[in-house]
Amino acid sequence: MLLAILLILFQTGTADLQISLTTEFSERRQIFLWIASFAAFAVKVPMVPVHIWLPEAHVEAPTAGSVILAGIPSKLGTHGFLRFSIPMFPEATLCSTPLIYTPSAIAIIYTSLTTSRQIDLKKIIAYSSVAHMNLVTIGMFSRAAAVRSPIFSYGHTRQGQNMCAGRATHQPTSNGGENIACRNKSLIQGVSKTLPSVPKTKAP
């Protein structure tokens, strides 16, 4: 991505995004710059197979960290596609669109099946997030006009789900840490009785 930015600066002579968006790049340079930017934004979305970091990051992070992860990094990836890759490199985007559909569709099915086999609440939320964002990716490259709405709603619903998961599963230990075993969904029973608002809030 850094190399792509340097090449854009070399050709346009400025870091002004509006000027860069109106600059015409050769087809070969568009393809190179598109691949470079795609590699960076795909990790942030995240897209399969570069999604492994998200479930592990959610598991290791405290509730506040999970809320930030759900609300910011993936939005940066989709925002980068919408504001940078797609409008700046239209020809390269048009050529690569069919190549985006297949891995995104596979990712939706794969991560959905993976979600159904998880027992850790945070991993359930993380893997379902990957499926959601790959669906958004298909919408972006399909030029769907309403694609910004699911991005916006994703930020709110996932943050709420992580807060509810933290509230329902957090049990302080003697050293002030978090009881990780309590995130096992099979060990959490009667949540709807003790915290009736949690199941309703976590529903998409």
Count of structural domains, the chain: 1
In a domain, 174, yes or no: no
Mean pLDDT, contiguous 10-residue spans, the chain (204 residues): 84 84 86 90 86 83 80 80 88 88 90 88 85 88 74 74 72 50 63 57 49
In a domain, 53, yes or no: yes
pLDDT at 204: 47
Give the 3-state DSSP-derived string for the chain, with helices as H, strands as E and coil as C: CHHHHHHHHHHHCCCCHHHHHHCCCCHHHHHHHHHHHHHHHHHHCCCCCCCCHHHHHHHHCCHHHHHHHHHCHHHHHHHHHHHHHHHHCHHHHHHHHHHHHHHHHHHHHHHHHHHHCCCEHHHHHHHHHHHHHHHHHHHHHCCCCCCHHHHHHHHHHHHHHHHHHHHHHCCECCCCCECHHHHEHHHCCCHHHHCCHHHHHHCC
In a domain, 75, yes or no: yes
Report pTM: 0.75
Q: Residue 128 belongs to what domain range?
A: 2-169+179-202
